[in-house]
Chain A
């Protein structure tokens, strides 16, 4: 699709209440859905293409316009991200370690989880604070699509490199490159047992999932024989057991059994005869050309029309609707094919479509998006800590991120934790449970009130009041931080001010009334207290409740 302004949302209708495939009787008396979220295209784009609203982000998008901002986000290297770069350099230097470096260091016991913890906490940090927001959203998307569960035993020394060299490297590149990189990465080779697969005993785990999950999909029309053939073609992709001289300081081998595994193509275990998958013949090379066979097969899968359709459907499901319109999915699939699996043209087609513009209120945040989004709009940042010689010597620098990670884990949505190769589900119906909802609500309160992670935690910075510099969310500084500099004169404008600050929009009248009733106030009631003293409860100790309540509402639940 050519250049031009994003299509506006005018005329869109909310479809969330009426899934296209809604099966069977809904509960009686189901009310007609009406709009919570503003249809402003800036807010709509922010809600979908990022981990959530902040006032600063809104200013940035408005300054350049949605189309320019989108193009910047689709070219993330052009987006300056100095704060994030500094956090990564200072607190996550190990993420650039090779597998050999991981093994060479003395600070790990065998099968330490530290490298995986770095990967997970850095992911949370990037979602919260990176300026390359759409890139981070796409990293999460592909991490689920080509899921390698983290933490898990077999990837302790290489999962951070899978994230860097497979997912991040190609997240806005070409899918064919990402697929090949994943097939040859130690993390995937271990996770789906491809490393163990030989011509004599093919392990079909990866051979199956590369069809079912990574490319054409379970309904593509293949059968058991195709899966078995798929596994045969891929035999030879394995890991090599390298045995470098690991010396400790005394010059003696550190541990003779210590080895590290790198990708290796082993021609001796490759199945050397032609086989057919979905009616196409592969594996025509001799054993010595087996890697070329594997490459050709994976490229064929990446370019397959079913793969195009399936990736388009998954992307549209993530960004547009749990039931995206076929018209859009088809155009996205065409863009994928026309650009030889390039991802950016597919996203451009999506974000400039009328279907996207009119899809307001059709997506519900999953727990990760909900919690990260709440912390973003509250303005929590990473503290600038003093230099530490090696992060592992003083792990307390990450206490705040660790606490957030544990909260996400309790909600069943810590990054990369999904225990199966198919990745976290991406539709609202998979996430509606009372325990999940209660977890979100209680975590909002905990964050706003600064209970956990504690507002006194040195590793996170809770915003300071622009008025008196006091640290949020202690008492009166919360009000000074979240309310306009010109303090409201009525309780109605108090609620309006909070909503605009947190959501970028006001609440509908009946919802504003509900919040005011919660506070025991009326919209026109004058605020008569001495504002400079902030001595009313709703300007101090009671205020976290009303902030949390707004975050508990559908205004924050939807994206």
Chain B
């Protein structure tokens, strides 16, 4: 495992007041610390090997660091308070993406590249979703979301725990971070993952061609052949992985299928292209994480008047950011075609934004937000909610923010259970204390 380190540069910068909370408050909310949930110290070793015949979906997790404003992405234009709260950045029903508009919601027009997937029912949304309780600090909320241990008892990430209950296959590609060589906190823990800036970078320095690679590989395997498992196994899987990646060729030589086009200027698109290449290569990829940050739109989210001017030169942060996102996701889903039946992509962000816009065409830190879902098993073409829309009426707001009526763990639990072969018993290990299946909103269908 490569271990994530504190990188101040990677933390969203924010000058606004931090709405901190204490662990004691969290603790009180979560109730009694169960002895079984207590983390064992990382002092003892263990190995676990599982059957590699995984038949669930590849889970792609897009991390939207910075706090995505769900109200600008899945717009509740039918909520009477919306236009009042957002006089300059609020979108009207007629501005929203046609084919996605119902009596309450419609998608931001910059999501046009995903319109056909919405119509086909493979792109959907869960709205008013978030952490179990508000936390408006970027760093703390991100850590909480990725560790998903709300009694503070676990020091591992939720995806690491998925690997733990599933068992390691021995494939270097079982769990990956693509686009960054440091994995997110969700993968923090004893189970290994592979983190790469890009597949093209995943090669041994000094081995510049196939002959060199074979020369190094032969020697390194021979030098490790008599070593203990703890040394030999990582060496073998690493060398296998280097060979596998070399076999994929250069990204620049890759030809996407079905007329898909990845924008090579978009780091998100190129990361998704690498994920698509790995999926097609059947290397055992079960979990892929990608960072797509820059959502901290305190200023310049953009006026409503220009939201539909895709490609316009005026300052419109949300429009341009969604445009890049939608094009990249559309390229990925188009390229994979029917393989998307075995892929579920989910977006996560640490919090939404304040319901009321500020004075700079922006929005400050908030709470409830939207989760996007893409994949063959997604119950798409609709906005899922737990119960009624919580509304933006003043009494319904939580300190000025959209409430989160769906715990994000409910969405992830439903995906893991229905699409990724995680048993209900194992779910309680992945998300201890999370709401049960009665809280699921029906965001995905059960995989055959």
B442 partner residues in chain A, CB cutoff 8 A: none
Closest to B139 in A: A153
| A314 nearest CB across to chain B (Å) | 7
Question: Is B44 within 8 A of A21, CB to CB?
Answer: yes
Question: Is A418 within 8 A of B3, CB to CB?
Answer: yes
Question: Is B241 within 8 A of A429, CB to CB?
Answer: no
A33 partner residues in chain B, CB cutoff 8 A: 226-228
Q: Knowing A196-B22, A205-B23, A434-B241, say if A545 contacts B206 (CB, 8 Å).
A: yes
Partner-contacting stretch, out of B33-41, B115-123, B300-308: B33-41
Question: Is A31 within 8 A of B234, CB to CB?
Answer: no
Q: Mark B197-241, 1 if CB is under 8 A from A, else 0.
A: 000001011100000000110111011111111111111011001
| Bound: A438/B39 CA distance, A | 30
Q: Knowing A433-B193, A549-B219, say if A204 contacts B43 (CB, 8 Å).
A: no
Q: Is B448 an interface residue (CB 8 A)?
A: no
Question: Is A24 within 8 A of B47, CB to CB?
Answer: yes
| A423 nearest CB across to chain B (Å) | 9
Q: Knowing A204-B23, A420-B155, say if A435 contacts B226 (CB, 8 Å).
A: no
| Bound: A25/B181 CA distance, A | 30
Among B143, B152, B226, contact of A510 (Cβ-Cβ < 8 Å): B226
Partner-contacting stretch, out of B4-12, B75-83, B328-336, B373-381: B4-12
| Bound: A395/B392 CA distance, A | 52
Q: How large is the interface on A (under 10, 10 to 19, 20 to 34, 35 or more residues)?
A: 35 or more
Give the residue among A14, A414, A439, A552 with the most B Cβ atoms within 10 A.
Answer: A552
Question: Is B2 within 8 A of A411, CB to CB?
Answer: yes
| Bound: A334/B23 CA distance, A | 35
Question: Is B234 within 8 A of A554, CB to CB?
Answer: no
Question: Is B224 within 8 A of A438, CB to CB?
Answer: no
A149 partner residues in chain B, CB cutoff 8 A: 6
Question: Is B23 within 8 A of A317, CB to CB?
Answer: no
| Bound: A412/B180 CA distance, A | 12
Q: Mark B1-32, 1 if CB is under 8 A from A, else 0.
A: 11111111000000000000011100100001
Among B220, B223, B234, contact of A434 (Cβ-Cβ < 8 Å): B234
| Bound: A186/B288 CA distance, A | 40
Q: Knowing A418-B5, A429-B190, say if A314 contacts B43 (CB, 8 Å).
A: yes
Question: Is B45 within 8 A of A428, CB to CB?
Answer: yes
A510 partner residues in chain B, CB cutoff 8 A: 222, 226
B195 partner residues in chain A, CB cutoff 8 A: 433, 435
Q: Is B242 an interface residue (CB 8 A)?
A: yes
Question: Is B202 within 8 A of A438, CB to CB?
Answer: yes
B229 partner residues in chain A, CB cutoff 8 A: 17, 26-27, 30
Closest to B151 in A: A224
A478 partner residues in chain B, CB cutoff 8 A: none
Among A151, A446, A515, contact of B219 (Cβ-Cβ < 8 Å): A515
Q: Is A81 an interface residue (CB 8 A)?
A: no
Question: Is B238 within 8 A of A193, CB to CB?
Answer: no
Q: How large is the interface on B (under 10, 10 to 19, 20 to 34, 35 or more residues)?
A: 35 or more
Question: Is B222 within 8 A of A419, CB to CB?
Answer: no
Closest to A15 in B: B228
| Bound: A150/B215 CA distance, A | 40
| Bound: A152/B40 CA distance, A | 26
Question: Is A449 within 8 A of B192, CB to CB?
Answer: no
Task: Report the tally of A-B residue pairs with Cβ distances under 8 A.
Answer: 232
Among A219, A424, A429, contact of B46 (Cβ-Cβ < 8 Å): A429
Question: Is A511 within 8 A of B190, CB to CB?
Answer: no
B62 partner residues in chain A, CB cutoff 8 A: none
Q: Is A313 an interface residue (CB 8 A)?
A: yes
Q: Mark A421-432, 1 if CB is under 8 A from B, else 0.
A: 010111111111
Closest to A425 in B: B42
Q: Is B182 an interface residue (CB 8 A)?
A: yes
| Bound: A149/B233 CA distance, A | 31
A313 partner residues in chain B, CB cutoff 8 A: 43
Closest to A206 in B: B23
Q: Mark B41-83, 1 if CB is under 8 A from A, else 0.
A: 1111111110000000000000000000000000000000000
Question: Is B43 within 8 A of A427, CB to CB?
Answer: yes
Question: Is A205 within 8 A of B2, CB to CB?
Answer: no
Question: Is B215 within 8 A of A553, CB to CB?
Answer: no
Q: Is B385 an interface residue (CB 8 A)?
A: no
Q: Knowing A22-B47, A412-B182, A435-B2, say if A548 contacts B206 (CB, 8 Å).
A: yes
Give the residue among B23, B33, B196, B230 with the most A Cβ atoms within 10 A.
Answer: B230
Question: Is B48 within 8 A of A24, CB to CB?
Answer: yes
A525 partner residues in chain B, CB cutoff 8 A: none
| Bound: A170/B216 CA distance, A | 45
| B184 nearest CB across to chain A (Å) | 11
Question: Is A552 within 8 A of B192, CB to CB?
Answer: no
Q: Is A445 an interface residue (CB 8 A)?
A: yes
Q: Is B410 an interface residue (CB 8 A)?
A: no
Question: Is B223 within 8 A of A203, CB to CB?
Answer: no
Question: Is B231 within 8 A of A434, CB to CB?
Answer: no
Among A203, A322, A424, contact of B3 (Cβ-Cβ < 8 Å): A424
Closest to A409 in B: B5
Among B3, B22, B47, B226, contact of A23 (Cβ-Cβ < 8 Å): B47
Closest to A31 in B: B226
Give the residue among B3, B42, B225 with the most A Cβ atoms within 10 A.
Answer: B3
Q: Knowing A205-B23, A434-B192, say if A552 contacts B5 (CB, 8 Å).
A: no
A218 partner residues in chain B, CB cutoff 8 A: 38-41
Question: Is A432 within 8 A of B192, CB to CB?
Answer: yes
Among A205, A223, A554, contact of B223 (Cβ-Cβ < 8 Å): A554
Question: Is B230 within 8 A of A428, CB to CB?
Answer: yes
Closest to B223 in A: A553
Q: Is B170 an interface residue (CB 8 A)?
A: yes
Question: Is B2 within 8 A of A361, CB to CB?
Answer: no
Closest to A361 in B: B228
| A429 nearest CB across to chain B (Å) | 4
| Bound: A330/B47 CA distance, A | 26
Question: Is B48 within 8 A of A23, CB to CB?
Answer: yes
Closest to B192 in A: A433
Question: Is B22 within 8 A of A433, CB to CB?
Answer: no
| Bound: A478/B237 CA distance, A | 32
Give the residue among A152, A438, A441, A514 with the most B Cβ atoms within 10 A.
Answer: A438
| B290 nearest CB across to chain A (Å) | 15
| A408 nearest CB across to chain B (Å) | 9
| A379 nearest CB across to chain B (Å) | 20
Question: Is B45 within 8 A of A414, CB to CB?
Answer: no
Residues of A within 8 A of B (CB): 14, 16-17, 19, 21-27, 30-31, 33-34, 36, 113, 149-153, 193, 196, 201-205, 208, 217-219, 223-224, 228, 231, 310, 313-314, 317, 322-323, 361, 364, 409-414, 417-420, 422, 424-439, 441-443, 445-446, 449, 451, 508, 510-511, 513-515, 517-518, 544-545, 548-549, 552-554, 557-558
Residues of B within 8 A of A (CB): 1-8, 22-24, 27, 32-33, 38-49, 143, 152, 155, 170, 172, 181-182, 185, 190, 192-196, 202, 204-206, 215-216, 218-220, 222-235, 237-238, 241-242
Q: Would you list 26 pairs from A and B whose C-beta atoms are within 8 A, ordered by A residue?
A: A25-B49, A26-B229, A205-B23, A219-B40, A323-B44, A364-B231, A418-B3, A419-B4, A425-B3, A429-B46, A431-B3, A434-B237, A435-B202, A436-B1, A439-B181, A441-B204, A442-B204, A446-B205, A511-B223, A513-B222, A517-B218, A518-B216, A518-B218, A545-B206, A549-B216, A554-B224
Excluding A204-B24, A427-B43, 20 further A-B contacts by CB distance (< 8 Å) are A19-B46, A21-B45, A25-B49, A31-B226, A152-B8, A224-B32, A231-B24, A409-B5, A413-B5, A417-B6, A418-B5, A427-B44, A432-B192, A433-B1, A433-B192, A433-B195, A435-B194, A436-B1, A510-B222, A553-B220
**Pairs of residues from A and B, 5 with the lowest C-beta to C-beta distance, nearest first:** A514-B222, A17-B228, A417-B5, A442-B205, A518-B219
